[in-house]
Amino acid sequence: PTTAPRLDEIVPSAEPVKDFGEGGPSVTPTPPRVLAIAPAAVPKQTRFRLGALAHVQKVLVVDAGAVKVSGTGLNLLAVDPSDFRSWTPKPVADQPGVWSALTRGELVADAAAMRKYGMVLGATYQVDGGPRLRVAASASLGLKGVDGLVSADLGRSLGFAPGVAVLLHGKPGKISESGVRKLLGKDAQIVLLDAAERTAKKQAPEQPKSVNVGRPGSYLELYKASATRCPGLSWTVLAAIGQVESGHGRNNGPSSAGALGPMQFMPATWKHYGVDGDGDGKADIWSPYDAVPGAANYLCANGAGKGGEKLRKAIWFYNHSWDYVNKVMGIAEAYARTYA
């Protein structure tokens, strides 16, 4: 075996991986502005009337239901992948693995639900009184109150209520809540997914979070600078994760699961935790100057700066495996001795 080069000898490179593909088939996103759950199946005539409301451009009605896993309730939509794909954010729509999982009868969990309930990607869970479901993919679906997706066929077998969930697309902030309620009835649950656009004051466009680590000349300096953005987090932990995930930028993926860049982020996770580390105005998943501080940001959000078991749990959130946690901690200890 060859000796791995020292961290202070490896120069970060922001060049993208050359063989990275274009993602899934081209899909024009039509994000839902309003989500409604009707008390009963929505008749065809009502669907036409919903489509005729001012500012409504597109309507989709799907099945919905709830299951319990070890007593924990999950609210799910049962969808046809080909029909539903355009209703998700483009990074999700462009991930073939999400839609293949649904076709195979597996569960696609919302990223927030994964964190909230401590679900593990790839694990299989027993539905109380029902089948076993494998969590095959995780994505930020943008559907408040919805914990995940299953196929329409699986939804029927689980006894989901047919045709009760309504999604409406149109001009942001303009679809009338009262108009929707009038057609669906006073008992309908209505969620305004575009609530931000309905505020009187328009918000400024969100800019990539900046942590200003600059462009250090070595990975050693980059890890040290990035760790300062999470008080209590040792740079050696970042370095250990960088070693395990990509060999410090020497194997940037994509991985078989779709993880990208030197710190191997899933695109949906990067959307929430990625940062602009070098101040060039964008958060680039492929750039080590963004990815390493982005990893520090993600670890810190999960309590890594508190040390001890909180640190171990934060590393577990990075990759749901305690063997992975032990490996990272072991490498971090070795870096601490080497660079003391």
Q: Describe the crossing of helices 219-227 and 235-246 by its angle, rounded to 10 degrees.
A: 130
Q: 219-339: which CATH topology?
A: Lysozyme (1.10.530)
49-79: per-residue pLDDT in tens? 999 999 999 999 999 999 998 889 999 999 9
The pLDDT value recorded for residue 32 is 95
Between residues 209 and 18, the one the model is more confident about: 209
216-248: per-residue pLDDT in tens? 889 999 999 999 888 999 999 999 999 999 999
Query: What is the mean pLDDT of the segment spanning 284-294?
Result: 93
- pLDDT bucket at 254, cuts 50 / 70 / 90: confident
Torsion of CA 204, 209, 210, 214, to 10 degrees: -130
How many CA within 13 A on the CB side of residue 200?
A: 0
pLDDT at 201 over 60: no
Average pLDDT, rounded, for the chain: 87
Angstrom distance (rounded) from CA 129 to CA 191: 29
87-96: per-residue pLDDT in tens? 998 888 888 8
126-149: per-residue pLDDT in tens? 999 889 999 998 989 999 999 999
Residues facing residue 77 across a β-bridge: 64, 149
pLDDT at 338 over 80: yes
152-177: per-residue pLDDT in tens? 999 999 999 999 999 999 989 899 99
Outline which parts of the chain fall under CATH 1.10.530.10: 219-339
319-335: per-residue pLDDT in tens? 889 999 999 999 999 99
The pLDDT value recorded for residue 210 is 53
DSSP 62-118: EEEEEEEETTEEEEEEEE-HHHHGGGS-HHHHT-HHHHHHHHTT-EEEEHHHHHHHT
Whole-model pTM: value is 0.54
First to last CA, the chain: 25
